[in-house]
Amino acid sequence: MADINKILDSFDNLLNKEVSLSGRMINIRKMKTGLFIDLMNKNDIIQLFFSSLDSNNLSTGDLINIKGKCFYTKRGEPTIKIEELQIINKWNSDIGYKLVKNINKKTPLKIFLKEKYIRCYTSYRIREHIRDFLKNNNFMEVYTPVLCEKYNGGRSFPVKSICNNNMIGYNRATMEEKMQALVGSGFERIFQIGNVFRSLNEFISVEGYAANVNWNDGQMMIRELLQYVIKEIDKEIDIPANKTIENIKNNNWQLIDFVEGAVEIYGKKILKPLSDGVLLSKYLVENKIIKNKSILPETAGDIIAKEILKKQDKPTLINGFPLWNSPLYLPCDNDNRIACIQRSKVYFPGLLDGGFDMGVQENNYKRFLERIEKQRKNWSLQSDDSRVQESELETILSCGMPPMFGFGFLEPDRITRIWREDCTIDPFEK
């Protein structure tokens, strides 16, 4: 069976010659002379002509095999005249339209299938280009266990795996522990693309670590990675460009310091609340910046980031989150306002959280213990002991770790939303 795009590319050479095709009928038009059918294969569409007027056994969505000869219609449209037709399988519209959320019977099948194919294919190509870039920059792809003895997901709720002898394991929420152990073993540049599980949700994650790479160089590398991916995808897939895409291509970013951005909005009075997550959450509620009175200290920083981003129209890197925001990153040097960490997050206009997190990892064992114990006390969603148990990172850091730049892309597929109309997804809203 040939592909539609191959037939169309060499259509003139195939005139009056027999070809074989398989695909899904996305439209049927009944004319006086017969049936005109639009057949979709992968993401390509070709017109078929069937001289029979009997369409009782055919319906939109059916999978078919055909044999026929190529010709041009009077309007000059490349068409295949069907000589043999076989129905492979019937389309059940009641079930079929439920395959993708937010799709209903009013949505044309052509749009339904094309969008699904583009998203899946683009997602696949994004992951491949990420691989290519990292391997070209001397990163080695590794694989670490999905099933863990201890939960490593911070404030998210664990996804448990229970064996028939009542032994409990946890589906990994992150890959960092095992990967940092590999860095400590001498693998200086590694990455992994795999599945992670948080609060009954499953995501594809890209995580990587580079020993002896500083914060500025690491940020530049990630910007170059995104630039590379966008340019390569643009060569392969016909997706309309927009301002964000052009800015990424041209390496045109807005760099914002978290504290400076907060002071610009709220004034210097925000400095004291910024020094502590509990104080900040109270400040946000008391000053009616947010309506939710049950805001968690660990998410208060994201609320400030959201406000900072409202005026931005470029891809944005917010740098230097407060120290209390995460015990996993190295403190900033020479910052006398409040204690900050060498952590950055990527944001795109309209897509507030781009899912890209990066920074220099904490490698001081004693300092890590002090900070993680303090954070555990502030966690306000403890559901069981699994969320506060000893982390494997504690053991790993006790062995002595080199300074390393780490990055994580939760759902690299989010890059596809830059091109789509649903770029307004706001992960901060509950």
Note the pLDDT tens digit of each residue in 258-273: 999 999 999 999 998 8
Residues 6+ apart with CB under 8 A from 98: none
Helix (H, G, I), strand (E, B) or coil at 205: strand
Contact 430, 377 (CB under 8 A): no
Helix axes 297-309, 258-266, angle to 10 degrees: 70
pLDDT of residue 318: 92
Q: How confident is the model at residue 324 (pLDDT cuts 50, 70, 90)?
A: confident
**pLDDT over 90 (residue 142):** yes
pLDDT attached to residue 132: 97
163 vs 209, which has greater pLDDT? 209
- For 194-238, the pLDDT digits (tens) are 999 987 888 889 999 999 999 999 999 999 999 999 899 888 877
Give all domains of the chain, ordered by start, each with its CATH number: 4-91 (2.40.50.140), 123-418 (3.30.930.10)
Q: In which element (H, E) is residue 106 found?
A: none
**Which residues, other chains included, contact 214 with Cβ-Cβ below 8 Å and sequence gap of 6+?**
360, 403, 405
The region that residue 34 occupies, defined by phi over 0 for left and psi between -120 and 50 for alpha, beta otherwise, is left
pTM: 0.80
Give per-residue pLDDT as tens, 59-113: 888 999 999 999 999 999 999 999 999 999 987 765 555 554 444 555 566 666 7
Beta strands in 154-311 (DSSP E): 160-162, 168-171, 189-198, 201-211, 254-257
Most confident of 156-160, 186-190, 313-317: 186-190
Q: Of 42-51, 316-325, 353-362, where does mean pLDDT reach its minimum?
A: 353-362
